[in-house]
Structure 1
Amino acid sequence: MAAKFSGKIHPYIEDLPIFEDKVDEIAESIDEVGLLHPITLDEEGQVIGGRHRMAACEVAGIDPEFEVWEGDPLSFMLHDNDARKHQTAGQRAAENALTMHSAGMRKNGRWSYGGVISDFSEMSANERNYYSNCGLILDILGRDSLQSVARGDEKLLELYQDARQEKERIENAERLKVEAAREEEEREAYAADSA
């Protein structure tokens, strides 16, 4: 299949961070030996792999080469994110969680697995913890907070602990509200019985 770039980054990964130091490093390599691996597009011509290489081509002043992935783009993006060596395991997990979130795989405080991630039990305990931590951060602190982990601005564990504390605060406030409502009902019932 001929590769024709649409000019777009796939929406699942368009807001993931670009590491400028990595772009500069790749641009130097491109200047020296050329682009060794083409940018990967989905069948609609959207970039699903190689955003850093594409930015480096621009810095190096060369036209990028493209290839088309004819399989499931989400599967490609998740596996491509896992291959990043310049990121910590927490950053890679955050990028994958953001990608899965964009794909609608987070609902009612849970990840929906199947297809791309066929079996949660096949993951290592660390991987399960990373995804669980990322999910709580998304649910409680929001997407921007998890993006800060993907960029390397925040540590996954520290932000997860912040999310747990905030969740406890929210749950305690809700419990107090329910208790206050119940006490009010009891006072009203007692007043009605006394009258």
Structure 2
Amino acid sequence: MSDERTRDEAVEQELKGVPEDMIDGEEASEAADGDRVAALEEELAEARQQVLYARAETQNVRRRMEKDIADARAYAATGFARDILSVSDNLSRAIAAIPEDLREDEKWKGLVAGIEATQREIDKVFGQHGISRIAAMGLPLDPNQHQAMIEIPSTDAEPGTVVQEMQAGYMIRDRLLRPAMVGVARKPD
């Protein structure tokens, strides 16, 4: 009997480190393996989903960054362009203020031609950088491009039509740089 007792004790010692569901038999072992496999498959599915989300987020960040870089290149000169518009406005006013007799006078022709050439050069540089003048005269008021300053009674123009431009407006590519300040026709009283 002592031999049997020693064998029973030896078996008990071996089973101490084994989970109980494995001791109950093969069915319990297969069920436990099935549960572990199911849990691992679920973890794998979650990991795959997380990888897909991470890839999508990376793609979105990359696209956003590319758009920001393109916008920065396209519109980097916006602040500078706004400042230069006042220089262009002053040149235009200077040209408009020159009396006709001075334009014909030989002494002043060179100066007048130089001022006009400077204005043409500024317009050329604006064009090279995507800055364009907003059309206003004779068009219906567009609040996205025009800023109505006054209403002018008019029988010649439809109400809401721009009949006077006080300050030219400009676009930089597809964005408004400065609205045109205009006078709009209204029905006379």
- Tell me the TM-score normalised to structure 2 length: 0.24
Structure number with larger C-alpha Rg: 2
Q: Which has the higher contact order (CA 8 A, sep 6+)?
A: 1
Structure with greater strand share of residues: 2
**What is the TM-score normalised by the length of structure 1?**
0.24
